[in-house]
Structure 1
């Protein structure tokens, strides 16, 4: 079914996708602000606001919110990312009105009670502690910080114990007024829902919502590259190597997804086959590409024992460099098939589809037809991927992050030299 959209007079977008063969509806509100919209002294406030939204409104206590949604068998949750914050619910089709009312209530009338705030600060402190105790999670935060040094886009969404402890209810209200508004928000419902019904529910509650009160983002994110190393006495080491990636709207966005898939997107990928299967140098290796509205980050993650680090890094770097001169149409075709399947399979989930619709509207100003996305993937050749690999891996300063027994990990400047010498060698080999 096609996505139906209506834009209210205040600029808020309402979008629905009707699915006649399901009994449930996923619905939510997505606001185009996240952790990168925080001021330096506000690090972590976007995530704290997400937590506090469920801690009571003028009409409902925190317990009331939980009880009302679970009385009808529903689920409610929220999520904060670098550039968006979302509040969403999943209910049966007859309970769309209730779920919409609760979501709009927490957006418009959260009280941010001081006692609840103190308790939630404690909860987030525990969350921070758990993250620090999980190297394979926290290393990704340190990776982003090294790639975008001194910038909000590179900071952890969670914040720090020091900043979280300083926040007051008034600061939460101020942040909400500044960053939330109809002009940067979309309401989405996917499932057993009629567009007109959901539109009326949203319009009756949010038609008078004004624009956000803050200024637009003053500066674009700038990839810097760099390194972070933390030696810990662990059984394994978590290692990340990265390069400048592409933003959502860049011409090479989809090509970067294919490149990541060819390099480390599955069991048939270059890195998995060479490093894990043939050489047994790690138990996990993968590649990924993160995009933001104005920047991107291409990364490779490996988890291995201390005894294999010394051999692992040169092999990994050589695999990176050979891609610019040695990639086949068969590999690109396989990666394209993986991305196509992932797109279509994820669309079968109402939750994934709702998030996709919201993300595309906030990024592109429209929902991209599936065929348009597939056509863009089909237009990408092996030659184009090879060119992108050269520009990505040889054209930017690397980012390195590691946690664990890092003694054998190649020094940062040696990694840079290895990348430079490897590309010369592969070019010479190709020429001969």
Structure 2
């Protein structure tokens, strides 16, 4: 299987990966804009636009869009993230033309009918309310907000009740013209598809799509760290502790992925074994690393009952400080194997592979060969991850976000102090 790419005259990139052994095709359009591109008075408009794209064009009603794709047994959906928005479908190979036509139609000719807009605003307000009632979801939004205080990169993609209610159809049209264009778009198809066939489908519908009219420059993200706590009468507490992470193109991007996996990437990880299995202090614990174009977030998430909070948080902090000086070769090798397997297994899904191709083209300007990724992971030594752990856990102000019965939890200053002092002493001793 080989990825083929063609760049149209308007800058739009068309990419395909042919898989002759399947009968379906995963295809989509990825635009290099998301919630981070919103102006201060537009919080939530990128996500609202994603919803409204399915609410009718001059050729299709909202019902027509759903009926046409499901008449052939297909699926259609969309997603908004901090820096990208995607519209995608999965159909049998003979229906690629139909799916392409629908996806291009909703991007180029959505009517943004006022009645539909009012209904969809109500739906999104309900979605916001549902997120607020789900602590294990909303705590991640509060975590990002605290880490990047007052900045678009840290804001919830959903917006707020207040901002959503203000948007008009004209604002949606203005945002679409400003942020969407052929020069920001990637069209990808993976599965039982030929490159030239998909290229013709896209070129005939989007070959004359103009450039976006907005400013390409984004305000640099500045990691601030911070503390968010919301005491609620719940059976459990959701707790996040984090630090500044690495951008997609940073030297330590892959090392950060390995560090997160060693610390909390599976049942064999340090956190799972020590905190959950040996001590029984929580029912869920993990570590993660999120990347953006110019920054990142490294975090630990744990969920536990009120009676274990007082002991849990110090243990989490101790595991981080201990890890920096005691990472072993076998742990790094196991983390490498986990990431390798995850990459190969996810690529067995045509939709996951299409998303990966689009992301790599948007970030790197090319599709990374799998062996190149494996080589980058293989070049990372234990010493390099140990140094990264010192810099990550002791080199930036921590971010704490927690929701639940929090009275037994350490103060923010205590969290900060338990990290910075021990890590600095261990770093000096190691040197």
Give the TM-score range, shorter chain: over 0.9
Q: Which residue does the alignment assign to 2:227?
A: 227
Q: Which residue does the alignment assign to 1:105?
A: 105
* 1:275-354 → structure 2 map (5 Å cutoff): 275-354=275-354
CA contact (8 A) 1:290 1:296 kept: yes
- How far, CA to CA, are the matches of 1:220 and 1:182 in structure 2? 24
- How far, CA to CA, are the matches of 1:428 and 1:208 in structure 2? 60
2:394 equivalent to 1:416:
no
- How far, CA to CA, are the matches of 1:426 and 1:291 in structure 2? 27
- How far, CA to CA, are the matches of 2:218 and 2:265 in structure 1? 35
- Range with greater deviation from structure 2 (194-203 or 312-321): 312-321
Q: Which residue does the alignment assign to 1:127?
A: 127
CA deviation string 1:197-255 (max 9, x = no partner): 00000000001001100001332111110010000000000000000000000010000
- How far, CA to CA, are the matches of 2:333 and 2:55 in structure 1? 49
TM-score (norm 1): 0.99
- How far, CA to CA, are the matches of 2:152 and 2:358 in structure 1? 22
Q: Which secondary structure does the structure 1 equivalent of 2:325 belong to? A: coil
- How far, CA to CA, are the matches of 1:273 and 1:429 in structure 2? 27
- How far, CA to CA, are the matches of 1:148 and 1:50 in structure 2? 24
- How far, CA to CA, are the matches of 1:237 and 1:425 in structure 2? 31
CA contact (8 A) 2:37 2:218 kept: no
- How far, CA to CA, are the matches of 2:109 and 2:167 in structure 1? 19
- How far, CA to CA, are the matches of 2:340 and 2:308 in structure 1? 35
Q: Which residue does the alignment assign to 1:270?
A: 270
CA distance 1:170–1:428, shift in 2 (3 Å) = closer
TM-fit CA distance, 1:324:
1.6
CA contact (8 A) 2:328 2:382 kept: yes
CA deviation string 1:133-172 (max 9, x = no partner): 0000000000000000010000000000000000000000
- How far, CA to CA, are the matches of 2:305 and 2:428 in structure 1? 34
* 1:365-384 → structure 2 map (5 Å cutoff): 365-384=365-384
TM-fit CA distance, 1:422:
2.2
Q: Which residue does the alignment assign to 1:55?
A: 55
- How far, CA to CA, are the matches of 1:150 and 1:137 in structure 2? 20
- Range with greater deviation from structure 2 (211-220 or 125-134): 211-220
- How far, CA to CA, are the matches of 1:107 and 1:280 in structure 2? 50
Q: Which residue does the alignment assign to 1:196?
A: 196
CA contact (8 A) 2:262 2:269 kept: yes
Task: Provide the alpha-carbon RMSD of the alignment.
Answer: 1.0
CA deviation string 1:51-83 (max 9, x = no partner): 000000010000000010001000000000000
2:397 equivalent to 1:397:
yes
Q: Which secondary structure does the structure 2 equivalent of 1:323 belong to? A: helix
TM-fit CA distance, 1:421:
2.7
CA contact (8 A) 2:47 2:157 kept: yes
CA distance 1:29–1:428, shift in 2 (3 Å) = closer
- How far, CA to CA, are the matches of 1:412 and 1:240 in structure 2? 12
Aligned residues: 431
- How far, CA to CA, are the matches of 1:273 and 1:415 in structure 2? 22
| Stretches of 4+ aligned residues off by more than 6 angstroms | none
TM-fit CA distance, 1:345:
0.3
2:189 equivalent to 1:211:
no
TM-fit CA distance, 1:426:
3.9
TM-score (norm 2): 0.99
TM-fit CA distance, 1:430:
5.8
Q: Which secondary structure does the structure 2 equivalent of 1:325 belong to? A: helix
TM-fit CA distance, 1:427:
5.0
TM-fit CA distance, 1:429:
7.2
TM-fit CA distance, 1:337:
0.2
Q: Which residue does the alignment assign to 2:5?
A: 5
CA contact (8 A) 2:32 2:185 kept: yes
TM-fit CA distance, 1:174:
0.2
Q: Which secondary structure does the structure 2 equivalent of 1:249 belong to? A: coil
- How far, CA to CA, are the matches of 2:191 and 2:295 in structure 1? 33
Q: Which residue does the alignment assign to 1:143?
A: 143
